[in-house]
Structure 1
């Protein structure tokens, strides 16, 4: 149990750090197309190597039908869109604000669940969604005169949250009984395909191969390798409730490193908003955690 919790913590910290490294790569002179491709391409190579070196305990777990490969690859397209929109949000805004916008997938997931099940959300979920929205208003400085956050940063951040909501939905429904490592390989294929389709023309004109060895490895480990592998290993063991609480750590991690490394100014209103969002996520999942413990 403790090992599984540690896995999820590592995944949350990794993704929380990602925004800071994206911003550093931008400050190094690379555009979003180069940064995104370097992350996804390097991540695909690393996962491919892990697949080649891994010991296959159950051969049937490693065999995917053509239909299963396509389904996982389409899920990977959602992951690719998360990266594209999230990185664009950071490009037009800040690392701390973008990670907050990405967490809007929590209330979007509640809305999607309500639509699919045709059931009205519980009072707990409605209250949590309202608190998250209120916390977001504070965390993004929308109420302060002279706020520097632009509509582009907000728009791309919310699009990343939509893609994340779709990805979370697919994660629990698409080929869940096969090898996580093999599944991650096909997922990364779809992710790479999405990046090439959207950024292909730009990469043909301005691709700088130096970005691969300067930033590719760090970005791939933090965004494409550690989070999915750690979550797949830890979440099924500790359950949805505790997983939701632990993954919320990516918000303060992203904000703290944005302050320490990027020197982004995060005021008391923003910290209050971040704490409200984390509190709402914890409160939303506490019922699931209690239910898991009683089973």
Structure 2
């Protein structure tokens, strides 16, 4: 179980550092299309390379139907939207605020689940929503007496990224569950790549940007954003359990805020750390029941 916990934690930390790398790429003059395009492009090459290595003579072949594979490609478009909206948000607001906006998927997921099941949320779920919203207000310095000078369009993009991530989580278990993690991740990223290249044609392949600094950012973002997290999650989630995974996944929030402070030298006030703490507490509270149930199941077994 310890290895599973470590894998989920490292996967979450990997997600958390992305916004800092994106900010650094923007500082070197690269565009949103450059950043998102190279991430999915290099990620696609790495993941499909891993798939091909697994299909060498003597390896087991997948029995997944073409329809399920097509579903995964279609589902992958939602991850492409998350990248576009999130990195557009990072372009206009501090990285420490962008990750807070993305974390709004916590209460959005609860709301979507309530609508789909046509069932009112529980008191714990309502408390989670309140804590997340209060933590966001504190972390965004909305109670500091002076409204921060943020780009409100960027905040809108951040919330759209959270909404797309919510829908991705809701449909992620609909297909490919029996598939190897590398194959599933490669198919999802194929859909993301198709969407990103439809919005931003891959001009970086011909305009020379790759050899003027973009290559390193694309490779870093691909490894930490599209290779490590899905593979580590695929290994760790079955061992750590869904409830503990949800809590460990929240590690991306403090990691992103810490990276923005240490690397980008963005100002992070104590009240903002209090807001981060409240959001982490909300995620922990919302998953207490699932952790208890998993422990009871383990003890009975």
TM-score, structure 2 normalization:
0.93
In the alignment, which of 268, 271, 279 is matched to residue 269 of structure 1? 271
Name which of structure 1's ranges 256-265 and 194-203 shifts more when overlaid on structure 2.
Answer: 194-203
Change (3 A) 1:146 1:108: closer
Q: Deviations over 1:6-38 (max 9, x none)?
A: 110110110001111111111111111101111
1:90-101 mapped onto 2 (5 Å cutoff) = 90-101=90-101
**Structure 1 residue 148: deviation in Å?**
2.3
C-alpha root-mean-square deviation of aligned residues, in Å? 1.9
Q: SS of 1:172's equivalent?
A: helix
8 Å CA contact 2:12–2:229 kept in 1: the answer is yes
Retained in 2: the 8 A contact 1:81–1:163?
yes
Deviation at 1:212?
4.4
Deviation at 1:235, TM superposition (A): 0.8
**CA-CA distance at 1:138 after TM superposition:** 1.4
Alpha-carbon spacing, 1:206–1:94, altered in 2? closer, same or farther (3 Å):
farther
- Counterparts of 1:207 and 1:89, CA distance in 2: 26
1:30 match: secondary structure: coil
1:1-295 equivalence runs, <5 A? 1-54=1-54, 59-60=60-61, 62-144=62-144, 145-200=146-201, 208-210=209-211, 211-295=213-297
8 Å contact kept, 1:77–1:191: yes
Number of equivalences: 294
Change (3 A) 1:212 1:158: same
C-alpha separation between the residues in 1 aligned to 2:147 and 2:167?
34
CA distance in 2, matches of 1:143, 1:195: 37
Q: 206-215 or 231-240, which moves further after superposition?
A: 206-215
- Residues 153, 142 of structure 1: alpha-carbon distance in 2 compared, 3 angstrom cutoff: farther
Shift in Å at residue 169 of structure 1? Answer: 1.1
1:208-231 CA-to-partner distances (Å, cap 9, x unmatched) read 223542211110011100111111
> Structure 2, unaligned stretches of length 5 or more?
none
**With structure 1 as the length reference, what TM-score do the two structures score?**
0.95
Partners of 1:221 and 1:278 in 2: how far apart? 26
Measured after TM superposition, the shift of residue 207 of structure 1 is 7.2
Q: Deviations over 1:34-83 (max 9, x none)?
A: 011111101000101111112678735x2432211211011110111111
- Note closer, same or farther for the CA distance 1:154–1:148 as it changes in structure 2 (3 Å cut): same
Contact in 2 for aligned 1:42/1:212 (Cα 8 Å)? no
- 1:141 to partner: Cα distance: 2.2
CA distance in 2, matches of 1:12, 1:76: 19
How far did 1:166 drift?
Answer: 0.9
In the alignment, structure 1 segments of 5+ residues that lack a partner are none
